[in-house]
Amino acid sequence: MSAVLVYFESVGAELTTAQQELITLADAVGEVQVVTGSTTSDAVHALALEGVHTLYTGEGEIHAPDPAVIDLLETAVQETRAHAVLARNTADTTDALARLAVRLDTGLITDGVGLSHDLRITKSVLAGSYTTTARVAEGRPLIATLKPNSTEPYLVPGGAPEIVTLPVTPAAAEDLRVLERTPLEASDRPSLTEARCVVAGGRGLDGDFGPLEELADELGAALGASRAATDAGWIDHAAQIGQTGVTVSPQLYLSVGISGAIQQRAGMQTAQTIVAINKDEDAPVFEIADFGVVGDLFEVVPQMVEELRKRRS
Amino acid sequence: MPDAAAGTPLHIITLVKWVPDAQLERRFTEERHIDRSEGILGELDEHPLEAALRIKEAAEDREVRVTALTMGPAGAAAAAKKALQIGADDAFVLSDDALAGADISATSTALRAAIERVQEVSELDGELLVVTGMASEDGESGAVPAQLAERLGVHLLSQATSVELAEGRLVVTRTATVEQQTVSAALPAVVSVTDQANDPRYPNFKAIMAAKKKPMTELSLTSVGIGPTSVKPRAQVLTAEPRPPRHGGTVITDEGDAGVQIVDFLQKERVL
């Protein structure tokens, strides 16, 4: 069976849900090999799964923007003769796979939501208004990034993979140097792109995300926002869902105090179930919501929280 | 301290794309290409242009030229024209029937050839800085800057939220997957900037009038020195189906129990 190479920027003590999904997708189309630029001693336990054969690493930590990431990937492809290379669709992995595709003279398909046994990628394009299938030219390896929430993870514990250190070292080039690193603010909530449930707020919140935070915590949801809310500075820009922000495809999307103009819709209309709360009955969001409430969010949201707590106890 | 690069001209080539307006209905053609018969200058491409103009304005003792380069169908010249109005010094439009339906690979191959051609004909002999937006608003892959950097053999600094030149080196703040990085790099380089990098300016009447006198050059694959085979897509779209429209479901007006009703709905849909 031919190999499928899965690239993770880093592997920790536990795989993230998105990482589990990638292994599940890869396992369906070949023998899974993992390559990473950053690993801890726990990684081998996290990857002790049926179907995962080898863990490839470099000599030392290799991260974007270091171009050695591409050397690492290229060496791993040569080593495994992989007929497909898969990774998550973060900006840094997209860069790495894009450059790898140039070196291998093959096609790159980004932001897939499905992978078939004959290596066709399903994508949602033009802000969710079209679904396409695509593949790379015959006889060339598939290079693809996949979005989180593309499949249900299915993993079976197994033996520890073999660890192979490839002869690739970080490029300590003087002409490309990271002067300073600041970790992005970590949150206890799930990340926006990976969450199964997203609660998003807009102009209607009038600067007060308090009730929504409470609801998000009650649902185990990620917190998002419309552009109006991020532009007003009520919440960090990284929370923006829409055409120029993050695109999410959760199982449940709760839109609160957001009118749902096309800019916003582009980022959320592929959600499985959409629930909307807005005081304006003409808000466009009601045209796409599976369940809509015309009402005062400051009354409806706290009542939801109370009801969820009541049913949980 | 004297600027190490003082005297050496800087050539900033800004990539701009003419994209279908996202506010209108966008569709695929029968050939499964995005219909690009109508368009506007991509909103995300105003940010790299602004970044380039600010670098030019901040450079005191070196000649800086800001060139706008676009690739697309006949109408794409409109994006180049808008870039000239906003402040680019000159513009180049690469248009060729063989580029219809270009994928990431074909696009970056053609742009690399175009950039090298632009440098040749410019006779500026300056250091190269290519500035792009974070993604196009139609293809949305965000992968072209990386492929372009790889093909040009220059540094890539993507997802920049600020770009400056200090003593001839680039200083870029970028958003990586888990951290914010400040990166220093020598030229030449490709930098992609996000919509957080700056607030783009609007062209005023004077700038619009001045743009009429700025040079705009048309390029074809032949004039940039590559054949149609090298821009053959490496990825093919097999099917393109419009997504069935979402229909609105139940909409109720809150009569004091809407919060409970939502929870009922979520339970019924098994999404809790």
**CATH architecture for residues B10-244:** 3-Layer(aba) Sandwich (3.40)
Q: What are the residues whose beta carbons fall under 8 Å from the beta carbon of B242, sequence distance 6 or more? A: A129, A130, B27
CATH number of the domain at A216, please: 3.40.50.1220
Q: Kindly state whether residues A252 and A109 are assigned to the same domain.
A: no
Where do we find the tokens 């000649």? B63
B195-207 pLDDT per residue, tens: 999 999 999 999 9
- Of the residues B23, B163, B191, B234, the best mutation for testing chain A's interface (the one with the most A CB atoms within 10 Å of its CB) is B234
Q: Kindly state whether residues A124 and A239 are assigned to the same domain.
A: no
- Cross-chain CB nearest to B181 (options A134, A180, A311): A180
SS3 B225: coil
How far is the C-alpha of B140 from the C-alpha of B134, rounded, in Å? 9
Distance of CA A127 to the CA centre of its chain: 16
Contact A10, A146 (CB under 8 A): no
Q: What are the strands of the beta sheet with B10-15, ordered from one edge?
A: A176-183, B179-185, B169-175, B155-166, B189-193, B127-133, B10-15, B64-71, B90-94, B216-219
CB contact under 8 Å between A136 and B151, yes or no, is no
Element (H or E) spanning B84, and its range? helix B77-86
A110 within some domain: yes
What is the ipTM for the molecules in this complex?
0.94
> Which of B138, B105, B106, B103 is closest to B28 using CA atoms?
B138
In the predicted structure, residue A26 carries a pLDDT above the cut 70: yes
Q: Kindly state whether residues A145 and A8 are assigned to the same domain.
A: yes
Q: Report percent pLDDT > 70 for chain B.
A: 98
Closest-CA residue in chain B for A269? B246
Calculate mean pLDDT across residues A257-284.
93
In the predicted structure, residue B126 carries a pLDDT above the cut 60: yes
Calculate mean pLDDT across residues A243-262.
92
Q: Report percent pLDDT > 90 for chain B.
A: 88
Calculate mean pLDDT across residues B262-268.
95
Q: Kindly state whether residues A9 and A130 are assigned to the same domain.
A: yes
Q: Kindly state whether residues A120 and A236 are assigned to the same domain.
A: no
Task: Confirm or reject contact between B229 and chain A (CB < 8 A).
Answer: no
- Of the residues B246, B247, B265, B267, the best mutation for testing chain A's interface (the one with the most A CB atoms within 10 Å of its CB) is B246
Boundaries of domain holding A299: 197-312
- Cross-chain CB nearest to A180 (options B159, B182, B242): B182
| pLDDT band per the 50, 70, 90 thresholds, residue B2 | very low
B196-218: string of b/e by CB count within 10 Å (b at 16+)? bbbebeebeeeeeeebeebebbe
SS3 B68: strand
Q: Kindly state whether residues A31 and A156 are assigned to the same domain.
A: yes
> Which of B115, B192, B131 is closest to A65 using CA atoms?
B192
A191 within some domain: no
How far is the C-alpha of A209 from the C-alpha of A236, rounded, in Å? 11
Contacts of B26 in chain A (CB under 8 A): 126-127, 129
> Which of A12, A54, A57, A56 is closest to A30 using CA atoms?
A54
Where do we find the tokens 């779209």? B237
Calculate mean pLDDT across residues B15-43.
93
Give the number of beta-carbon pairs within 8 Å between A and B.
267
Contact A170, B173 (CB under 8 A): no
| pLDDT band per the 50, 70, 90 thresholds, residue B4 | low
Contacts of B251 in chain A (CB under 8 A): 281, 286, 289, 291-294
Task: Confirm or reject contact between A92 and chain B (CB < 8 A).
Answer: yes
Task: Confirm or reject contact between B37 and chain A (CB < 8 A).
Answer: no
DSSP 8-state code for residue A161: P
In the predicted structure, residue B68 carries a pLDDT above the cut 60: yes
Total domains in chain A come to 2
pTM above 0.90, yes or no: yes
Task: Confirm or reject contact between B180 and chain A (CB < 8 A).
Answer: yes
Q: Kindly state whether residues A204 and A111 are assigned to the same domain.
A: no
Side-chain half-sphere CA neighbours of B52 within 13 A: 34
Kindly tell me the burial class for residue A179, based on how many C-beta atoms sit within 10 Å of its own C-beta (0-12, 13-18, 19 or more).
Answer: exposed
Task: Supply A132's token pair.
Answer: 């396409």
- Cross-chain CB nearest to B237 (options A132, A184, A288): A132
Q: Report percent pLDDT > 90 for chain A.
A: 87
A57 within some domain: yes
In the predicted structure, residue A284 carries a pLDDT above the cut 90: yes
Calculate mean pLDDT across residues B213-220.
98
A170 within some domain: no
Between the CA of residue B177 and those of A56, A238, B30, what are the distances in Å?
21, 12, 38
Q: Which pLDDT score, from 0 to 100, does residue B271 have?
A: 85
A25 within some domain: yes
Provide Rg for chain A, Cα atoms: 21
A107-157 pLDDT per residue, tens: 999 999 999 999 999 999 998 889 999 999 999 999 999 999 999 999 999
Q: Of A145, A165, A185, which residue constitutes the final position of a domain?
A: A165
Distance from CA of B118 to the nearest CA of A (A): 22
A172 within some domain: no
A79 or B23, higher pLDDT? A79
Q: Kindly state whether residues A11 and A157 are assigned to the same domain.
A: yes
In the predicted structure, residue B5 carries a pLDDT above the cut 70: no
Where do we find the tokens 């880093």? A10
Q: Report percent pLDDT > 70 for chain A.
A: 100
Calculate mean pLDDT across residues B152-171.
96
CB contact under 8 Å between B141 and A110, yes or no, is yes
Q: Kindly state whether residues A26 and A121 are assigned to the same domain.
A: yes
Q: Which pLDDT score, from 0 to 100, does residue A128 have?
A: 87
